[in-house]
Amino acid sequence: MMILFIDYLVDVSEGKFTDKITVRTLVNNVAIFLGTYQQLPNQRISKEDSTALFNYAKGECATTHGLTTDARGKPIADGVDVRLLQKELWSEKDPIVSTRMRLQVSVFIGISAATASHPGTIVESSCWEGSNEALIYKDLVFTIFPPLQCSNLLPSIGDTALQTVPSKSAMLALKLRFNLLKCHRKEEGYYTDTVIQTERLEELGLCLVTNFLIMALQDQAFEVVHNLDDLERLMANATTPINLSIKASMKKVPVLRNYEGRTKAISATKALTYNALYFQLVKLGIRAGFEERLNPYCLRHMGANNMDESAAVSAEQRRQVMGHEVTSRIFSSSYLSPLVRADLMGVAMGRQESLDAVRAIGRMSLNADKKAPIALSVEGTARIWKLPEIQELLAIQDKAKLACFTVHGTKIEDAKGTPEGVVYLGAYRDVRNTFRRHQKALFLDERDQWFARQDTRLMEGLNKKPPTNQCLKN
């Protein structure tokens, strides 16, 4: 039945090189079909059947219908191209009505060019149409670095190593987590982290941190930062690195989103699709005067080539970032850090690489706080004893204890080794083990909440401070 469907695809599809589509296009369409089909309830296709379909498409079907293997070239963008695209994107003549959509296209260009990310890790993949899976706010971590912990890498004279000098102002950095990696989309715990820091370039659109920050503020995604004034207050008063907390209601919301229906309003929940992004990039390339067609993969190829030429990114990390087969699965899964320890934006833009933020975010002591809980709070312990599960086990333990007292007197030790004593000991262990399980989970939750609320505590402290003029009067 599916083979007939593949034949149908060939009959109704029109090619670019000839009247028929190419073998590569057919294979891609089969992949999209399989990805969509398997999202339907109770619909699964075995690996053997999938392989057989691909083999049919590339073999018998291609031969029968006379499909060509011609392919377009693979144009590769570079830093100059990216700057031209950003300039065109923000020109007054740009026909994109929505400023948010301009921001989103700008952000995609920057991410893809710097990280060589597969488009499906950032926007909704055409192979997973309708899944609404894309980069979400949970994948974004904004970190404020106070002035004393910021530094700028300055090249020194001759062969002397780069020197670190203190910075006079706080810095905002962004860590992006890519969970939807090619070939590892549904693999739990398989992801890569990339650090982007605030750019000092004057060209519009080239600072990813600023663009992501604008979108987060538009969406009211932060817990305590509602505008730039709030952010400035935190940055001016932070004494240790602080992560900006994201609202729980926003954590699963896609950052880049589609238009709502046929309107020019941006949807509140629907992820930007690959096809919509492709259409915007093609139009942008045409308006910029590019002869070759601009598509998302031109930017991915740019990032890949930049990483290949950079000594800062190892071959193993490049494979990991791009979702390619690694040389050693043990090393890749158990030892290789998911954090890409390179200034990929610096590599992409051809400027001096700055690894300050990357190194800082990679440290376990980044936001160390000795005031964080070291044991479960009294309130947390009281909550555990009130849990229905614990209450039920305590009732069983009390019943077993009463049986011991009835048969062996008022000392539990006298029931040791007896049937009643064995029942009591089992009930006691059930209470203890269940309590410890909840205790561990609740303690870890309290620790997580403590670190997640660092910006909230700082803002609350600032709000309690009297105005400066009142301080002077006192």
Judge contact between 361 and 173, C-beta under 8 A: yes
Chosen domain end from 23, 40, 65: 65
Structure tokens at 279: 């259409």
Distance CA 293, CA 364 (A): 44
Q: Are residues 343 and 399 in the same domain?
A: no
Q: What is the pLDDT of residue 377?
A: 94
Q: Are residues 223 and 290 in the same domain?
A: yes
* Angle in degrees, CA 113, 119, 123, rounded to 5: 115
Structural domain tally of the chain? 3
Q: State pLDDT tens for residues 56-92.
A: 888 888 888 788 776 666 777 877 888 888 888 888 7
Select, from the ranges 112-116, 264-268, 333-337, 380-384, the one with the highest average predicted confidence (pLDDT): 380-384
Annotate 387-409 with DSSP letters as a single string. SHHHHHHHHHHHHHHHHHHHHH-
Q: Are residues 90 and 199 in the same domain?
A: yes
Q: Are residues 48 and 91 in the same domain?
A: no
474 lies in a domain? no
Instruction: State the residue range of the domain holding 421.
Output: 378-463
Q: Are residues 216 and 175 in the same domain?
A: yes
Q: Are residues 325 and 434 in the same domain?
A: no
Any idea what DSSP says for residue 414? G
Q: State pLDDT tens for residues 150-162.
A: 554 333 333 333 3
112 lies in a domain? yes
Residue of 125, 114, 296, 137 whose CA lies nearest to 215 = 137
Kindly report the backbone phi and psi dihedral angles of residue 71, in degrees, each rounded to the nearest multiple of 5, phi listed first: -145, 150
Entry pTM: 0.76
Q: Are residues 140 and 113 in the same domain?
A: yes
Q: Are residues 295 and 177 in the same domain?
A: yes
286 lies in a domain? yes
Distance CA 68, CA 20 (A): 8
Distance CA 142, CA 217 (A): 12
37 lies in a domain? yes
Distance CA 270, CA 266 (A): 9
Q: Are residues 305 and 222 in the same domain?
A: yes
468 lies in a domain? no
74 lies in a domain? no
Q: Are residues 390 and 314 in the same domain?
A: no
* CATH number of 240's domain: 1.10.443
Residue where the block lists tokens 């049937």: 419
For 240, counting Cβ atoms within 10 Å of its Cβ (0-12 exposed, 13-18 middle, 19+ buried), the class is middle
Chosen domain end from 65, 95, 119: 65
Q: What is the pLDDT of residue 141?
A: 94
Q: Are residues 329 and 394 in the same domain?
A: no
Report strand pairing: 163-166 vs 151-154.
antiparallel
162 lies in a domain? no
Q: Are residues 244 and 190 in the same domain?
A: yes
Structure tokens at 171: 């810095």
Q: What percent of the chain stands above pLDDT 70?
A: 84
Radius of gyration of the chain (CA): 29
Distance CA 25, CA 18 (A): 12
Structure tokens at 412: 């539990």
469 lies in a domain? no
